[in-house]
Copies of this chain bind each other. A is one copy, B any other.
């Protein structure tokens, strides 16, 4: 038998697959530390809040009542009971009235956002995002080959004047802006909640320029301070806003259940990219059987927990870094603190020192679509205990001090 030459599959790759492709490349990972002592990296929910027994019980009840439906193919838009839970959640927490037909379920909000990118973005198309913005979404945006124009974030959220300038530039070019991606509450990573004024301006801009706003709100229910403001979805009356949400932060990320709320006419288009036989019929039912009776008290428990953790981390950081010119965000909810390092901090040295101490955090540059962020880091206070948030953040403060030139 002759030796066969291995296939050179690289020349068969799609345009999107070629983005970032290198022969022999490995699987993506954003971990600096294998088994961190202090995991302040990803936005992982607190395992101490997981309703272990509640979900076992929900599984047993669900299997008795509709196990046959849970184990077969499902509705291409997702389990009706989960779509109804989404409708109920928006009403309960915000008084926002939507209908089941506005909702499509996906495998987590990352997959939900990817539905929108697939539906609207061709390689080379222009979109607008915040800078910084969520690194996970940026990975999906890059995979779709979007050209990203970025607008800065200040204390009121996205800089709408910068958005307008981008929209005007694109209009002059004759290039449509396919969508504006924004995180309205406790912006990830920078922390601010978009002000009502900015929200209204952003919706007005989308309407004026005929584009879509993709409103990411993974953390909205987990507010422990400040005033709740109406969503962009609620403020829009022209079908310009698609809004994503998730059970990852209020139940558990491992259930992989997210959704888009969108104008009804858009739902079939989005559904075209939900390949396969319905999203998680089993998992959706387990989640609904637990959440429909526990939504409000469970979310209240979570908000209280994350409030304590945020405070513990802020206390630890300021105890050590007070007196430097560090900038530390103080979000009204969510999972993250964003830090502008004190002048003179060497980010490479910091990464090395932190790794030696078993500290995992997220480095700034991953959050910027077009460069920048070398002097930023993001800390998640969500995963570790209150005590470890306090102790670990002091340690972070110390390695930051050591990493100054």
- Seen from chain A, the residues whose Cβ lies within 8 Å of a Cβ on chain B are 4-9, 11-17, 20-21, 23-29, 42, 44-45, 47, 50, 52-53, 55-56, 59-60, 63-64, 67-74, 76-77, 107-111, 113-114, 118-122, 125, 136, 140, 143, 176, 178-179, 206-207, 210-212, 237-240, 248, 251-256, 258, 263, 265-269, 271-273, 275-283, 286
Contact = CB atoms under 8 A, between A and B. Distances in A.
B275 A140 contact: yes
Contacts of A7: 206-207, 210-212, 238-240, 263
A63 B56 contact: yes
A162 B177 CA distance: 45
A28 to B, nearest CB: 6
Contacts of A120: 9, 12-14, 17
A256 B281 contact: yes
A22 to B, nearest CB: 9
A14 B119 contact: yes
A63 B11 CA distance: 45
A167 B223 CA distance: 59
A118 to B, nearest CB: 7
B24 A265 contact: yes
B12 A178 contact: yes
A179 B53 CA distance: 47
Contacts of A276: 107-111, 114, 136, 256, 258
Contacts of A125: 14
